Structure 1
């Protein structure tokens, strides 16, 4: 669905950031958000809805809709569109209803 422009793909090759997405090693570009890295790597959805468990993917890309929630380094409910990737980051799809932190 989403692909990088040729110039941006060359930038990835020059300064890659290694992350893990759903158990798969992925090279992404420094400065990308988690949501952008998901799209660029071919992952179109990052969470399931709470009631119907329907797949949802990043939508607004500016922190408003919360459709980009993922688990980052074991911590759930992270807004992928607001968090830049960093080397060694472990990103996982979020399943089911979010748990409210107490």
Structure 2
């Protein structure tokens, strides 16, 4: 899938590495997880209702459209979560870790 975001400026920030669905990508310090996903994957995740890929909608954490998981199984909103060097992001729930047994 083609990237949805293309960086036009602010290229002076420090480059950091992260993993998205097992692929190592380079992003810039200060980017959000959603920015990284849109630049490298073109989507944030898959709809839980089976109607396709999701890309985030509100960009402020209200619409629930950009939930992703860390490799450890934690959920986070991609639009409001800053990148951390070495971050491991999954666009699908890690098997056996989500949903958390209650």
SS in 2 for 1:81: helix
Q: Please, what is the CA RMSD of the aligned residues?
A: 2.0
Aligned residue for 1:2? 5
Q: Give 1:50's aligned residue.
A: 48
Task: Name structure 1 gaps, 5 residues minimum.
Answer: none
Structure 1 Cα separation of the partners of residues 48 and 21 of structure 2? 20
Greater share of helix: 1
Q: How does 1:1-102 map to 2 (within 5 A)?
A: 1-5=4-8, 7-8=9-10, 10-12=11-13, 15-41=14-40, 43-94=41-92, 99=99, 102=102
Which SS does the other structure have where 1:11 is aligned? Answer: coil
Shift of 1:26: 0.6
> How many Å separate the matches in 2 of 1:75 and 1:11?
32
1:101–1:53 CA distance, 2 compared to 1 (3 A): farther
| Kept after mapping to 2: 8 A contact 1:47/1:70 | yes
Unpaired stretches in structure 2, ≥5 consecutive residues: none
Q: Is the 8 A contact 1:69 1:94 kept in 2?
A: no
Deviation at 1:73, TM superposition (A): 2.9
Give deviations 1:24-44, integer Å, cap 9, x for gaps.
111101111100111122x12
| Distance (whole Å) between structure 2 residues aligned to residue 99 and residue 59 of structure 1 | 23
